[in-house]
Amino acid sequence: MSVPEAGGVFHRARGRTLDAFPSEEEKEWKGPFYFIQGADPQFGLMKAWSSRDPDHGGDEWGQEIRLTEQAVQAINKLNPKPRFFVLCGDLVHAMPGVKAVFSGHYHRNAGGTYRDLDMVVSSAIGCQLGQDTHGLRVVVVTAEKIVHRYYSLDELSERGIDSDLLDLMKET
């Protein structure tokens, strides 16, 4: 797949549907296929473990990048081609200067702090398991800080982003 073709795939998910697999073509069984599942590239973990300091040392990603490139090259050589590739698990172990990790899956807003790292869990666009509204989190990153705020879909549609967040993004 060429770079423009590959880039196009990422822009084809709309309305809870990925048009890479059109329903008209996919609604009937057409025989066996296979897909590739990879897990845990976890950039930074190899350095952390080799230095015997799992909480630090994740500032080098060279080994993981080489292995990930090797995986992509191996998949691209396969014949027949896999139907799709899915990557699961931990993508990143550590990054220099990370101040916050943003995630979902809990279907409610939550979070906590460990040392100097904030864990921010955003509630769902879809099914809610708590009292939070369906929404999105706006995250503003400046050289000095990270500021985030959860908005309901109605709030964001009706009034947009709060002025204090917009002010943070203005160049000084």
Would 23 be classed as within a structural domain? no
The 10s digit of each residue's pLDDT in 39-58 is 888 888 888 878 777 666 66
**Boundary residue ending a domain (96, 126, 147):** 96
Would 129 be classed as within a structural domain? yes
**Same-domain check for residues 86 and 120:** no
Intervals of the chain under pLDDT 70: 1-18, 54-58, 94-96, 171-172
**Same-domain check for residues 103 and 172:** yes
**136 is in which domain, residue-wise?**
99-172
**Same-domain check for residues 84 and 105:** no
pTM of the model as a whole:
0.49
**Same-domain check for residues 48 and 114:** no
Distant-in-sequence, close-in-space partners of 120: CB < 8 Å, separation ≥ 6 = 100, 101, 102, 103, 111, 137, 148
Would 11 be classed as within a structural domain? no
Would 125 be classed as within a structural domain? yes
Would 18 be classed as within a structural domain? no
The 10s digit of each residue's pLDDT in 79-93 is 888 888 888 777 777
**Measured distance between the N- and C-terminal CA atoms of the chain, rounded to whole angstroms:** 43
